[in-house]
């Protein structure tokens, strides 16, 4: 048999659990479909939550893809150049599976491009196992459940659809885990605020949205209880204001209590414009632009923050 060129499967930069698990799970699926030249990859360092997940299920950390030039690739969990691999424009994109808004990845040839508003990309991939009647082993079930619970914050995010809930219940049985117990342990592993600088907390899970030359950025830090992190609120806001100076019209940081599902939204940028988007009281600090707003029942960047923030780009 002729040697086939390796196909790298990867999610977005600052990879989260869905990006990493989707790559691993889809590689497993393709191998079951007799495509053996696929390799799950990542384009950044793992966060503590994802490390917990891979350890729990005994799965190797995907290889780091530093540059996509000339590579055959499958893109999961994103379809925007800005958050994709270095030189993805010069890669040969074979397929895209995603649950985010349609972005700006372009291809020369038509390719399979599946985009569905689901709780996680891993949920879309899980459906394929059913269509092709490919059994889902315990480990793969564990990874899919982890990805969905992570992206939907234990199924509480408004991005969760009924199909996702059914899927998680089914797969949790195969994985032999209690959804709540496992989910809490996983989120807790991701809430490591003590060992990070303010800048690391802001950039650990940070997304940039662009329209021409203007850009806004939104980071998110998951916490369990606000006490520890809010002791550092002024330090966090200062770092956010500093980061805005990199030509962002505004930068945001969601500090989200993943159990209580409430968010403190930090922002740096035009206060009047931000005020109009959220209509909330703003806490200010002497000598610091920007401020902090409390947003009860807000957990999802994609569903609850991004649509508002994107208005700043128009």
Place of tokens 């109009």: 276
Compute the CA torsion angle 173, 178, 180, 185 (nearest 10 deg): -120
Nearer to Mn ion among residue 198 and residue 218 (C-beta): 218
Q: Which H or E run includes 72? A: strand 72-76
Tell me the residue nearest to Mn ion as measured from the CB. Answer: 18
Are 42 and 147 within 8 A, CB to CB?
no
Instruction: Pick out residues in 105-124 that bind Mn ion (CB under 5 A).
Output: 120-121
Q: Alpha-carbon distance 51 to 301, whole Å? A: 22
Q: Give yes or no for residue 257 binding Mn ion (CB under 5 A).
A: no
Would you say 121 or 263 has its CB closer to Mn ion?
121
205 binds Mn ion (CB under 5 A): no
How near is the Cβ of 11 to Mn ion at its closest, in Å? 7
Tell me the three state secondary structure of residue 84.
Answer: coil
Determine if 18 is a binding residue for Mn ion (CB under 5 A): yes
- List the interface residues with Mn ion, window 258-297 (CB under 5 A): none
Count of residues binding Mn ion (CB under 5 A)? 5
Determine the Cα–Cα distance for residues 303 and 258; give it in Å rounded to an integer.
Answer: 15
Candidates 16-24, 44-52, 241-249, 284-292; binding stretch for Mn ion (CB under 5 A): 16-24
C-alpha–C-alpha distance, residues 179 and 234, integer Å = 36
Binder among 49, 80, 151, 205 for Mn ion (CB under 5 A): 151
The answer to the question of residue 98 lying near Mn ion (CB under 5 A) is no
**Cβ of residue 220: shortest distance to Mn ion, in angstroms?**
12
Q: How far apart are alpha carbons 229 and 128 in whole angstroms?
A: 40
Q: Which is nearer to Mn ion, 42 or 238 (CB)?
A: 42
Span of 10-18, 29-37, 197-205, 214-222 interacting with Mn ion by CB under 5 A: 10-18
Query: In angstroms, what CA-CA distances link 220 with 14, 209, 250, 266?
Result: 11, 14, 15, 10
Give 105 or 120: the residue with its C-beta nearer to Mn ion: 120
Closest to Mn ion by CB, 18 or 80: 18
Listed ranges 61-69, 76-84, 193-201, 296-304: which one lies at the site for Mn ion (CB under 5 A): 76-84
Interaction mask 121-150, Mn ion, x per CB under 5 A? x-----------------------------
Question: What are the residue ranges of helices labelled H in the chain?
Answer: 17-32, 48-56, 121-131, 138-151, 162-175, 179-190, 198-203, 227-230, 233-244, 271-278, 306-309
When the beta carbons of 62 and 269 are compared against Mn ion, the nearer one is 62
77 binds Mn ion (CB under 5 A): yes
Q: Which residues are CB-contacts of 131 (< 8 A; sequence separation ≥ 6)?
A: none
Q: Across the strands, what pairs with 217?
A: 208, 251
Q: Closest by alpha carbon to 263, among 287, 298, 234?
A: 298
CB of residue 56 to Mn ion, shortest distance in Å: 19
Do the Cβ atoms of 139 and 59 come closer than 8 Å? yes
Query: Which residues lie near Mn ion (CB under 5 A)?
Result: 18, 77, 120-121, 151
């Amino acid at each position: 048999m002729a040697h086939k060129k390796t196909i790298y499967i990867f999610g977005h930069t600052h990879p989260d659990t869905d990006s990493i698990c989707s790559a691993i799970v889809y590689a497993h699926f393709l191998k079951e479909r007799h495509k053996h030249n696929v390799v799950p990859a990542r384009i950044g360092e793992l966060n503590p939550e994802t490390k917990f997940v891979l350890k729990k299920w005994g799965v190797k950390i995907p290889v780091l893809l530093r540059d996509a030039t000339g590579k055959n690739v499958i893109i999961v969990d994103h379809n925007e150049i800005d958050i994709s691999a270095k030189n993805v424009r010069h890669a040969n994109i074979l397929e895209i599976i995603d649950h985010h808004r349609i972005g700006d990845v372009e291809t020369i040839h038509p390719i399979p491009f599946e985009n569905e508003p689901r709780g996680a990309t891993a949920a879309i991939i899980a459906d394929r196992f059913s269509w092709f009647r490919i059994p889902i082993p315990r480990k793969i079930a564990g990874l899919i459940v982890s990805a969905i619970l992570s992206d939907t914050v234990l199924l509480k995010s408004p991005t969760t659809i009924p199909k996702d809930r059914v899927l998680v219940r089914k797969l949790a049985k195969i994985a032999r885990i209690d959804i709540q117990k496992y989910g809490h342990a996983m989120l807790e592993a991701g809430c490591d605020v003590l060992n990070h600088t303010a800048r690391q907390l802001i950039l650990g899970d940070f997304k940039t949205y662009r329209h021409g030359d203007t850009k806004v950025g939104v980071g998110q830090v998951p916490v369990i209880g606000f006490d520890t992190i809010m002791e550092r609120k002024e330090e966090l806001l200062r770092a956010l204001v500093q980061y805005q100076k990199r030509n962002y019209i505004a930068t945001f940081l969601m500090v989200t209590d993943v159990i209580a599902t409430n968010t403190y939204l930090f922002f740096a940028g035009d206060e009047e414009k931000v005020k109009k988007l959220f209509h909330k009281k703003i806490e200010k600090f002497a000598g610091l632009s920007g401020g902090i707003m409390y947003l009860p029942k807000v957990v999802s960047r994609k569903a609850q923050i991004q649509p508002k923030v994107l208005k700043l780009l128009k």
